[in-house]
């Protein structure tokens, strides 16, 4: 028994909003055989287990829908458009520049495509990846695991929980904990507590411990507490049997790296231009693999937007090389896209997406290449960590395609 060899026109790896959006648009625009591979048994990606509302605001307007409904909508749209969606199929590696090996209950395959779109998403860093010291007892979660445990498997979680983080996903995690019957005793963040939190959250919410770091987890058979240190030196141990580490996303970039495509040092996702082209010829990337993380709606829109450049590549076979990179200076954290394409394509909505490492009140952003100023723009609202902000991309046509890297700094 060996691998079944097959060919498709476009292979999309990952059946979350980005991959499904790409599949739908490509199938609808006559890209030929468009196949989406999803390693989970059900497609839809992370929205599958986000039971809170607010999904689809971008595309539908209004308050949106719940995650599972949104995921089902994405799946239905891809299927309606004629894309092939295969679940329970894992891409295990590359057998050539545009050839992957897969494992599924139906057997092993080797699939060669004319273009590959990577849409493998992002995950939250685990407690270990964050280098949080202490013991390794049961009761330690990320939001992703918690939501699946509660919403997909109805598992017993515990009784008292601490949530690490104070961003929207942290509050979603706290809501999930309450649904599961836990008391949320505190939310811990090493940053200053989010402003306006009092206005946006109800009065019955857990206290937010700002400027506080987790120094250790305690307990052996079961988590017994989270030791913390406030920036003024005070320490405490928060008694709990459950802790959820939220946010701190890292792109799920194994397959991209195994393909040998270059990573952006800021996002840790594949370096890419506005047409979602990576450094690997014929390999595109979309969604939260590129930036951890934007909303599901943003990922879906990126997936749709990749269709035109994929079709162009299928028609011409062209692939740019030697593109100037776009990089940020501290305290900015990353920018996406982070390569300048040769054809002056603009990013989604004509704007770049950025993150900062610390809060900046109405910062003045300056774009330079080789010392030459291309653009300056004052943002009217403050920017805060873990929230996206945008930079207009109208200056892209002034970039020297043979010049050095483009740098974005705060003036």
Partner 1 sequence: MPETYESRAMNPTITTSGALTADEPPGAPAYDVTVVGAGVVGTAIARELARYRLRTALLDASDDIGNGTSKANTAILHTGFDAVPGSLEARLVREGQRELRAYAAETGIPVERVGALLVAWDEEQLAALPALSAKAERNEYHAARLLDADELRAREPRLGPGALGALEIPDESIICPWTTPLAYATQAVRAGVHLHLNCRVRHIDSGDDVHTLTTTRGTLHTRHLINAAGLYADEIDRELGHDDFTVTPRRGQLIVFDKLARDLVNHILLPVPTAAGKGVLVAPTVFGNVLLGPTAEDLDDKTATGSTADAIALLREKGRRILPELLDEEVTAVYAGLRAATGQEDYRIRSRPDRRTITVGGIRSTGLTASMAIATHVTELLGESGLALGTPSELPPVTLPNLGEAFPRPYQDAGLIAADPAYGTLVCHCERVSAGEIRDALAGPVPPHSPDGLRRRTRAGNGRCQGFYCGAAVRALFEEARS
Residues that bind partner 1 (CB under 8 A): 1-3, 39-40, 88, 90, 92, 103-108, 123-129, 131, 133-136, 138, 141-142, 144-145, 148-149, 152-153, 155, 215-218, 220, 250, 254, 257
How far apart, in whole angstroms, are the C-alpha atoms of residue 400 and residue 381?
30
Q: What is the Rg, in whole angstroms, of the alpha carbon atoms belonging to the chain?
A: 22
Using alpha carbons, list the distances in angstroms from residue 223 to 39, 161, 181, 206.
Answer: 31, 10, 17, 19
Q: How far is the CB of 41 from partner 1 (least distance, A)?
A: 8
Supply the minimum distance, in Å, between the C-beta of residue 276 and partner 1.
Answer: 22
Instruction: Tell me phi and psi for residue 20, to 5 degrees.
Output: -70, -40
Dihedral angle, C-alpha 286, 288, 291, 297, nearest 10 ° = 90
Q: Which is nearer to partner 1, 105 or 371 (CB)?
A: 105
Helix (H) or strand (E) holding 298: helix 296-305
Q: What is the DSSP letter of 355?
A: E
CA distance 306 to 31: 12
Query: Do residues 17 and 287 make contact, with C-beta atoms less than 8 angstroms apart?
Result: yes
Identity of the residue, 254 or 373, whose beta carbon is nearer to partner 1 in the bound complex: 254
Pick 132 or 391: Cβ nearer partner 1: 132
Least separation in angstroms between CB 178 and partner 1: 18
Those residues with Cβ within 8 angstroms of residue 342's Cβ, 6 or more apart along the chain or in another chain? 320, 323, 401
Instruction: Give the up-direction half-sphere exposure of residue 339: CA atoms within 13 A in the CB hemisphere.
Output: 26
Closest approach, Cβ 259 to partner 1, in A, equals 12
Q: How far is the CB of 213 from partner 1 (least distance, A)?
A: 10
Min dist CB 395 to partner 1, Å, is 31
Distance CA 233, CA 68 (A): 43
**By C-beta, is 91 or 115 nearer to partner 1?**
91
Is-contact 361 389, C-beta < 8 A? no
Pick the closer one to partner 1 by CB: 217 or 399: 217
Q: Give the C-alpha distances (Å, rounded to integers) separating 92 from 84, 96, 103, 259.
A: 19, 13, 7, 12
Q: Please, which residue, 214 or 274, has the CB nearer to partner 1?
A: 214
DSSP assignments along 130-167, one per residue: TT--B---S-EEEHHHHHIIIIIT-----SEEEEE--S
Query: Closest separation between CB of residue 210 and partner 1, Å?
Result: 20
Nearest to partner 1 of 131, 380 (CB atom): 131
Cβ-based nearer residue to partner 1, 112 or 126: 126
Cα–Cα dist 268/278, whole Å: 13
Angle among Cα 319, 296, 171 to the nearest 5 degrees reads 140
- When the beta carbons of 89 and 194 are compared against partner 1, the nearer one is 89
Pairing of strands 90-96, 84-87: unpaired
What's the closest the beta carbon of residue 126 comes to partner 1, in angstroms?
Answer: 3
Question: Which lies closer to partner 1 via its Cβ, residue 92 or residue 409?
Answer: 92
Least distance CB 108 / partner 1 (angstroms): 5
For residue 219, the minimal CB distance to partner 1 (Å) is 10
Please give the angle made by the CA atoms of 22, 28 and 30, to the nearest 5 degrees: 105
């Amino acid at each position: 028994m060996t691998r079944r060899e097959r060919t498709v026109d476009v292979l999309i790896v990952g059946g979350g909003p980005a991959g499904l959006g790409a599949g739908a648009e490509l199938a609808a625009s006559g890209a030929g055989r468009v196949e989406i591979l999803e390693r989970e048994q059900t497609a839809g990606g992370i929205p599958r287990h986000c039971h809170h509302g607010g999904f689809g605001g971008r595309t539908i307007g209004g308050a949106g829908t719940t995650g599972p409904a949104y995921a089902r909508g994405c799946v239905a749209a891809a299927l309606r458009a004629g894309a092939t969606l295969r679940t329970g199929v894992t891409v295990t590696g590359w057998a050539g520049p545009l050839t992957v090996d897969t494992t599924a209950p139906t057997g092993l395959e080797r699939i060669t495509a004319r273009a590959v779109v990577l849409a493998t998403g992002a995950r939250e860093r685990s407690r270990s990846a964050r280098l949080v010291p202490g013991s390794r007892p049961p009761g330690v979660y990320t939001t992703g695991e918690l939501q699946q445990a509660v919403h997909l498997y109805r598992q017993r979680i515990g009784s008292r929980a601490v949530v690490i983080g104070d961003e929207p996903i942290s509050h979603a995690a706290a809501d999930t904990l309450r649904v599961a019957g836990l008391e949320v005793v505190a939310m811990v963040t090493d940053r200053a507590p989010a402003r306006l939190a009092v206005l946006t959250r109800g009065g019955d919410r857990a206290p937010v411990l700002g400027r506080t770091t987790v120094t250790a987890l305690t307990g052996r058979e079961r988590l017994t507490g989270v030791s913390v240190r406030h920036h003024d030196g005070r320490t405490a141990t928060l008694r709990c049997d459950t802790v959820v580490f939220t946010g701190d996303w890292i792109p799920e970039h194994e397959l991209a790296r195994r393909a040998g495509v270059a990573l952006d040092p800021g996002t840790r996702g594949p370096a890419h231009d506005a047409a979602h082209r990576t450094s690997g010829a014929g390999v595109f990337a979309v969604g939260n693999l590129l930036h951890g993380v934007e909303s599901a709606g943003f990922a879906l829109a990126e997936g749709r937007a990749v269709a035109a450049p994929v079709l162009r590549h299928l028609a011409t076979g062209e692939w740019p090389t030697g593109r100037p990179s776009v990089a940020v200076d501290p305290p900015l954290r990353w920018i996406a896209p982070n390569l300048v394409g040769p054809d002056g394509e603009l990013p989604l909505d004509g704007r770049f997406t950025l993150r900062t490492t610390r809060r900046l009140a109405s910062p003045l952003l300056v774009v330079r290449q080789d010392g030459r100023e291309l653009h300056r723009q004052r943002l009217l609202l403050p920017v805060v960590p873990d929230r996206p902000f945008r930079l207009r991309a109208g200056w892209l046509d002034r970039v020297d395609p043979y010049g050095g890297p483009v740098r974005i700094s705060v003036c």
